[in-house]
Amino acid sequence: MIDRRKFLTFVPIAAATFSGMAGLAPQSAFAKTQTQSVGAIETLMRGHGLLWRAIIVYDVIRDRILKGQETEPSFVLDTASVIRTYLEDFHEKAEEKYIFAPLEKDSAQFSAIQELKVQHGTGYELTRRISNLSKTGKMNAELAGYIDQFQKMYRHHAAYEDTVIFPAFDLMEKRSDMAELTATFRDEEKKVLGHNGFDVFLNQIAHVEKQLGIYELATSTPKLV
């Protein structure tokens, strides 16, 4: 078994230094950071973070179904609800209206954007099928198949947007336009989701993670020997 003290010597010194500095930082500095406005692109990438957590939940549920382990349909329904309401009703509509449309007008990443929009529609249909099967309590191979298709597509989808589409948009837009878009996103989010929309859906995913026993970060750390 690896000696923990020896293992920790592999951690870069810079990381240890930063950790020490973070411990010395006044609490008010972190509170101030939390209250600052989230930028437009940061809002979309934060949505992708929520999507990744939903995909992790789906991975666990799919594996349990395929192993014949009992799984509460409510875990699927609660996760699908987050995807439908936050990601489809707000996130994807905002992407198409404020990110995709200007890029299309500028003939930037045009063909990729057409496929991303197809994937938005496909994701909507997969979420509908996943929800409908779960409502009937059919935690079967068909459901596992739809979950597998959803998570495979969206892993690629979100990674492509983060590394290609959003940077392309960021390069194209003026700083003043980005500031205006940040305010627009904030207003759109409030209109669709209410004042604490993101936090509500984040807490909903966290609740499912706790029920599945995967909320703590340590549950994903490999036990190296």
- Going along the chain from its start, the domains and CATH numbers come out as 38-220 (1.20.120)
- By residue count, the chain amounts to 225
Q: How far is CA 81 from the centre of its chain?
A: 14
> Which two three-digit tokens encode residue 28?
């008010």
With b for 16 or more beta-carbon neighbours within 10 A and e for fewer, the 171-195 pattern comes to: eebeeeeeeebbeebeebbeeebee
Q: In this predicted structure, what is the pLDDT of residue 85?
A: 95
CA distances (Å), origin 70, targets 43, 55, 75, 84: 36, 19, 11, 24
| Rounded mean pLDDT for each run of 10 residues along the chain, 225 residues in total | 46 43 42 58 95 98 95 97 96 96 95 98 98 95 98 98 95 82 91 85 97 96 94
Measured distance CA(115)–CA(113) in Å, rounded: 5
The answer to whether 186 touches 142, Cβ cutoff 8 Å, is: no
